[in-house]
């Protein structure tokens, strides 16, 4: 084998490990300063940070093995593990050896992160900065690629220095200006400003709101079944189904029922005026329209907003569909004229005050095997549809979307939550939600409906067994132990460890 091959491998491995290590430090600072977005997004992007660090260690291994195999530099395992033991540029090699030992400590404590006190991991993890400095000095003094390293190092040092200072200032500003109990007005993840373009009543107690981008540009694309999180003037964030035309990217359309006994979000929407600036999230779709030969849509009250774009989509491509739409009164049922224009033979309106409850069995008996049944509405309707499909029509494919979480499966009991990143251990009393307690330590933790229906508040679980009480997870997913929706869910175990 060409003896120069080992030297080239050592150079490639060294440069790649240094670049990747530098990228790891930069990415970690971006996550820490929240430049990459809110904490929910940062938790997901943390995987990339770990991937970069693992790749850096892999190339570092290539670098070290190639040095041992290279006969010209005459470096053995002892020289790679003990500082200043090398006869080849001893000081320069020593900086690399010390950096390797620190990097190994960071890697080991990261692997044991869920088993050791968080402060231990945090203290060791801060050594990533001296590791970056030591590896930069090592790269400039130990090898033959100093020219390549020099200009890259200047850029990286500038970026890391800026982000480090920004991080320190951001922490200080947060400590000085936000008390643990101070109210915070969060915005939806990936939010963008919009204005209220138009408001008009479409039924008793239901208002249609049209939103447009403040700059007059295009809004993010969406598909039937999607919803947006709307940040209201009070700071409340509420999810609403998009009920307009997906092809019209200049306007988002939502229908909102005024619920006097609700949490105040719907009343606030009804009090909006044209021209008011708000913020909305990117559309999120947890209720997608699947391809099927036939569709049966079952709506209850304001649940029609989620199904309306689906009906138009099925109609546009010529698929067979039927709608069973129930409401308290005919005047309280929104979009009836728009629906009846699609064909009175396929739209069956059932006002409860005159016609009673929808006849689910009859509607289902007119479908064939393989029909996709979509249902959105109040909990009694959804429970009735689930039972009807399970008991008598097992070959129909049921898709549901709830307004809120189902009834609690058991009485609430107290437990503890550990916020692994901050090192906080907080009691969660039986009469308080997990989200409420978390917000004591992390004000502004994202949430939207706070009823377990939208999924905005999802957090990663590192240890413990979640007690899922949400309406987002269904079927086998309800046994998942890696995430929780803290607005309604709790813990089966005495302590729940959250990646926050």
Q: For a pLDDT cut of 90, what percent of the chain falls above it?
A: 44
Q: How many CA atoms lie within 13 A of 123 on its CB side?
A: 5
Cβ(360)–Cβ(384) below 8 Å: yes
Q: Is the pLDDT of residue 127 over 70?
A: yes
* Mean pLDDT value of segment 280-289: 90
Q: How far apart are the first and last CA of the chain?
A: 51
Transcribe 318-356 into DSSP letters: T-EEEEEEEESSGGG-TTHHHHHTT-TTTEEEEEHHHH-
Q: Is the pLDDT of residue 185 over 50?
A: no
Cα→Cα distances 406→135, 138, 472, 489, Å:
55, 59, 10, 11
Q: What is the pLDDT of residue 381?
A: 95
pLDDT band at 143 (very low <50, low <70, confident <90, very high): low
Report the interhelical angle of 3-33 vs 128-142 (nearest 10°).
150
* Mean pLDDT value of segment 121-148: 73
Q: What is the pLDDT of residue 448?
A: 73
What is the C-alpha to C-alpha distance for residues 10 and 189, in angstroms, rounded to an integer? 43
472 or 352: which leads in pLDDT: 352
Phi, psi angles (nearest 5°) of residue 432: -130, 150
Q: Is the pLDDT of residue 99 over 90?
A: no
Q: Is the pLDDT of residue 117 over 70?
A: no
* Mean pLDDT value of segment 59-88: 75
Lowest mean pLDDT among 96-100, 223-227, 457-461: 96-100
Cα→Cα distances 217→2, 214, 288, 484, Å:
60, 8, 26, 36
Instruction: Of 320, 400, 312, 399, give the one whose Cα is nearest residue 367.
Output: 320
Q: What is the pLDDT of residue 72?
A: 67
Q: What is the pLDDT of residue 237?
A: 84
Lowest mean pLDDT among 105-109, 144-148, 469-473: 144-148
97 or 263: which leads in pLDDT: 97
pLDDT band at 94 (very low <50, low <70, confident <90, very high): confident
* Mean pLDDT value of segment 351-375: 95
State whether residue 207 is helix, strand or coil.
strand
| Residue 208, H or E segment | strand 206-213
* Mean pLDDT value of segment 25-38: 58
Q: What is the pLDDT of residue 81?
A: 74
pLDDT band at 234 (very low <50, low <70, confident <90, very high): confident
Cβ(232)–Cβ(191) below 8 Å: no
466 or 7: which leads in pLDDT: 466
* Mean pLDDT value of segment 346-368: 96
H helices present in 34-73, as ranges: 39-69
Q: What is the pLDDT of residue 85?
A: 75
Q: Is the pLDDT of residue 20 over 60?
A: yes
Cβ(278)–Cβ(235) below 8 Å: no
pLDDT band at 102 (very low <50, low <70, confident <90, very high): confident
Residue 411 Ramachandran class (φ > 0 left, ψ -120 to 50 alpha, else beta): beta
Q: Is the pLDDT of residue 361 over 50?
A: yes
Lowest mean pLDDT among 269-278, 328-337, 437-446: 437-446
Round the average pLDDT of the chain to a whole number and report it. Answer: 82
* Mean pLDDT value of segment 432-450: 84
Cβ(465)–Cβ(492) below 8 Å: yes
Q: Is the pLDDT of residue 428 over 50?
A: yes
140 or 425: which leads in pLDDT: 425
pLDDT band at 156 (very low <50, low <70, confident <90, very high): low
**DSSP bridge partners of 495:** 416
pLDDT band at 402 (very low <50, low <70, confident <90, very high): confident
Q: What is the pLDDT of residue 145?
A: 61
Q: What is the pLDDT of residue 467?
A: 92
Q: Measured at the alpha carbon of residue 288, what is the angle toward residues 248 and 382, in degrees to the nearest 5?
A: 120
pLDDT band at 205 (very low <50, low <70, confident <90, very high): very high
Q: What is the pLDDT of residue 363?
A: 96
pLDDT band at 175 (very low <50, low <70, confident <90, very high): very low
Q: What is the pLDDT of residue 136?
A: 77
Q: Which residue has the tokens 């978390």?
A: 438
Q: What is the pLDDT of residue 170?
A: 45
Is the pTM of the predicted complex or chain greater than 0.85? no
Q: Is the pLDDT of residue 184 over 60?
A: no
* Mean pLDDT value of segment 319-329: 96
Q: What is the pLDDT of residue 199?
A: 96
Instruction: Of 302, 479, 333, 334, give the one whose Cα is nearest residue 404.
Output: 302
pLDDT band at 183 (very low <50, low <70, confident <90, very high): very low
pLDDT band at 128 (very low <50, low <70, confident <90, very high): confident
């Amino acid at each position: 084998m060409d003896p120069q091959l080992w030297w080239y491998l050592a150079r490639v491995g060294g440069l790649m490990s240094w670049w990747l290590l530098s990228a790891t430090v930069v990415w970690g600072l971006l996550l820490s300063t929240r430049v990459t977005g809110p904490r929910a997004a940062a938790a997901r992007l943390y995987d990339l940070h770990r991937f970069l660090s693992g790749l850096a260690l892999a190339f570092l291994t290539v670098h070290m093995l190639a040095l041992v195999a290279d006969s010209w530099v005459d470096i053995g395992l002892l020289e790679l593990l003990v500082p200043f033991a090398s006869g080849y540029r001893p000081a320069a090699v020593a900086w690399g050896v010390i950096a390797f030992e620190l990097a190994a400590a960071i890697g080991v404590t990261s692997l044991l992160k869920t088993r050791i006190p968080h402060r231990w991991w945090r203290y060791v993890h801060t050594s990533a900065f001296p590791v970056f400095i030591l590896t930069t000095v090592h790269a400039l003094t130990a090898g033959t690629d100093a020219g390549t390293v020099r200009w890259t190092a200047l850029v990286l040092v500038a970026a890391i220095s800026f982000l480090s200072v920004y991080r320190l200032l951001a922490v200080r500003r947060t400590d000085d200006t936000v008390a643990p109990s101070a109210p915070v007005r969060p915005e939806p993840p990936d939010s963008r400003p919009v204005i209220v373009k138009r408001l008009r009543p479409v039924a008793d107690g239901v208002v249609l709101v049209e939103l447009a981008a403040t700059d007059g540009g295009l809004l993010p694309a969406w598909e039937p079944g999607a919803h947006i999180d709307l940040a209201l003037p009070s700071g409340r964030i509420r999810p609403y189904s998009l009920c307009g035309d997906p092809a019209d990217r200049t306007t988002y359309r939502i229908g909102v029922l005024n619920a006097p006994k609700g949490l105040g979000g719907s009343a606030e929407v009804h009090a909006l005026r044209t021209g008011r600036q708000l913020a909305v999230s990117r559309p999120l779709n947890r209720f997608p329209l699947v391809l099927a030969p036939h569709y049966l849509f079952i709506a209850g009250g304001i649940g029609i907003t989620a199904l309306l774009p689906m009906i138009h989509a099925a109609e546009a491509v010529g698929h067979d569909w039927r709608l069973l739409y129930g409401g308290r009164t005919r005047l309280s049922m929104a979009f009836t004229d728009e629906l009846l224009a699609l064909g009175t033979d396929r739209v069956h309106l059932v006002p409860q005050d005159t016609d009673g409850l929808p006849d689910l069995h009859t509607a289902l008996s007119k479908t064939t095997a393989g029909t996709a049944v979509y249902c959105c509405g109040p909990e009694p309707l959804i429970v009735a549809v689930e039972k009807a499909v399970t008991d008598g029509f097992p070959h129909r494919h049921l898709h549901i979307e709830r307004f809120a979480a189902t009834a609690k499966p058991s009485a609430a009991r107290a437990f503890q939550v550990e916020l692994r990143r901050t090192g906080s251990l907080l009691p969660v009393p039986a009469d308080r939600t997990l989200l409420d307690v978390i917000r004591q330590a992390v004000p502004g933790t994202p949430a939207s409906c706070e009823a377990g229906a939208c999924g905005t508040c999802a957090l990663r679980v590192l240890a413990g067994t979640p007690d899922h009480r949400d309406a987002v997870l269904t079927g086998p997913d309800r046994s998942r132990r890696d995430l929780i929706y803290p607005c309604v869910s709790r813990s089966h175990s005495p302590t729940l460890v959250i990646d926050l």
